[in-house]
Amino acid sequence: MAEKTILVTGGAGYVGSHVCKALARAGFTPVTYDNLIRGHRALVKWGPLVIGDVCDANGLAEVMAQHRPAAVMHFAALTVVGESVLYPEGYLRTNVGGTAAVLTAMRKQNVSRIIVSGTAAVYSTLAPSPITEDAPIAPANPYGDSKLAMEKLLGESGFGHVILRYFNAAGADPETETGEWHEPETHLVPNVLRAAAGIGPTLKMFGDDYPTPDGTCVRDYIHVNDIAAAHLLALKHLESQTGGHIFNLGTGTGHSVREVIDTARRVTGKPIPVTVEPRRPGDVPVLVADPARAMKALGWEARASLEQQVTDAWRWVQKSQV
Ligand SMILES: NC(=O)c1ccc[n+]([C@@H]2O[C@H](COP(=O)([O-])OP(=O)(O)OC[C@H]3O[C@@H](n4cnc5c(N)ncnc54)[C@H](O)[C@@H]3O)[C@@H](O)[C@H]2O)c1
């Protein structure tokens, strides 16, 4: 029984809650550890919730002593790039200090495996797409800095670990039991759909003069359930592999902001008001993953198209009105 328990930090958040559902489906008990600063109690449906700060190593150790998890999946983090510029010390405290606390608690309780949320924000803005894991690393903001410091800490920790560098997570549970619920929401797909549903402001498109086919930025959107599937495969990977492993999670195909908006218009059947704003500093024209390493080592593949991601996200927005 104990072997089937996974400690999920940040399990009340967007990606974490989808992973909890996938874990439960696979026969695991996900124990969520979250302070609900950005997450939601209502999204914790597949196992117990322990409310606590991820920087509290003693609190984490107590939960590990009680539940004896086979591994930790670590999602708890602050994730808003713009906020990280204004509040870098908070990002360092939560994203690096929180990871340090998780590792301290693991050492104390003899938990030896961890899977963490990395991000494409660690790559240099000069790295050409498609981006492999060996592309130049040079985060462009404090959020990316904090995630890179987290990676370094893991590398030095001696624990068996997998770092999954997500590109742009999108979509929602097709059964609408959970979905994307950020406040503030900074991601394109939910903001396009909020505009379509009339519950969000007019969509701002930042820059239409980039050197891309339609002038708008191109990103690699990946269904949150494809990300969840990779976490289960990463867990399996750590049963037979020691050391540290880094994988990109993306589809390998880019879609422009205009394509996302057009897809949303088609899926929702609604008009989506858009204004064109100046470019945002730090946005690169194209950011697309090369997911070959994860495909080869984990036997993983992103399955859901952009259309599917927008369809599932739209169902969630209609039901939840968030
Ligand atoms: N959403 C994306 O597109 C994306 C892309 C790349 C990487 N990531 C990474 O994936 C992870 C999950 O992202 P998300 O979009 O689900 O974010 P989210 O904000 O929905 O979830 C993060 C969760 O962590 C919790 N948390 C934050 N600070 C905490 C603290 N001090 N103590 C305890 N819990 C705390 C929040 O309450 C929330 O439930 C993050 O580590 C993020 O950096 C996300």
Q: Indicate whether 204 and 241 sit together in one domain.
A: no
Residue at 149 is within a domain: yes
Looking at the structure, tell me whether residues 274 and 314 fall in a common domain: yes
Q: What is the pLDDT of residue 3?
A: 65
What is the DSSP code string of 266-314? Answer: HHH-----EEEEPPPTT--SEE-B--HHHHHHH-------HHHHHHHHH
Total domains, the chain: 2
How large a percentage of the chain has pLDDT more than 70?
Answer: 99
Ligand 1 centroid, distance to 14 Cα (angstroms): 7
Residue 274, φ and ψ in degrees, nearest 5: -135, 135
Please tell me the total number of residues recorded for the chain in this structure: 322
Whether residue 176 lies inside any domain: the answer is no
Burial (CB count within 10 angstroms: exposed 0-12, middle 13-18, buried 19+), residue 156:
exposed
Percent of the chain with pLDDT over 90: 97
Averaged over 125-145, what is the pLDDT? 97
Distance CA 174, CA 200 (A): 22
Give yes or no: residues 205 and 139 share one domain.
no
Is 94 inside any structural domain?
Answer: yes
Ligand 1 pocket test target in 8, 9, 14 with most atoms within 8 Å of CB: 14
Residue 153 lies in a domain: yes
pLDDT at 2: 44
Rounded distance, CA 58 to CA 61, Å?
A: 5
Protein residue closest via CA to atom 12 of ligand 1: 75
Give residue 281's pLDDT. 85
245 and 156 co-located in one domain: yes
pTM of the model: 0.98
**Given 143, 166, 210, 221, which residue is catalytic?**
143
Query: Is 114 found in the same domain as 89?
Result: yes
Q: What mean pLDDT do residues 73-94 have?
A: 97
For residue 266, give its domain range. 188-218+253-287+304-320
pLDDT digits (tens, 9 = 90+) for 158-194: 999 999 999 999 999 999 999 999 999 999 999 999 9
227/313 same-domain check: no
Residues 84 and 226 in one domain: yes
Same domain for 73 and 142, yes or no, is yes
* HEC string for 138-197: CCCCHHHHHHHHHHHHHHHHCCEEEEEEECEEECCCCCCCCCCCCCCCCCHHHHHHHHHH
* Residues paired with residue 73 on neighbouring β-strands, in sequence order: 8, 115
The model's pLDDT over 1-15, given as tens digits with 9 standing for 90+, comes to: 346 999 999 999 999
The tens digit of pLDDT for each residue in 199-210 reads: 999 999 999 999
Q: For 70-85, b where at least 16 C-beta lie within 10 A, e where not — what string?
A: bbbbbbbbbbbbebbe
| Residue 18: φ, ψ to 5° | -65, -40
Q: Is residue 27 part of a domain?
A: yes
- How far, in Å, from the CA of 198 to the mean position of ligand 1? 26
Question: Looking at the structure, do residues 236 and 110 belong to the same domain, yes or no?
Answer: yes
At 256 the three-state DSSP class reads strand
CATH assignment of the domain containing 108: 3.40.50.720
What pLDDT is recorded for position 28? Answer: 98
Rounded Cα–Cα distance for residues 176 and 6 (Å): 23
DSSP state of 123: B
Instruction: Please identify which residue in the block is written with the tokens 């606390």.
Output: 101
Q: Answer whether 78's CB lies under 8 Å from 14's CB.
A: no
143 is catalytic: yes
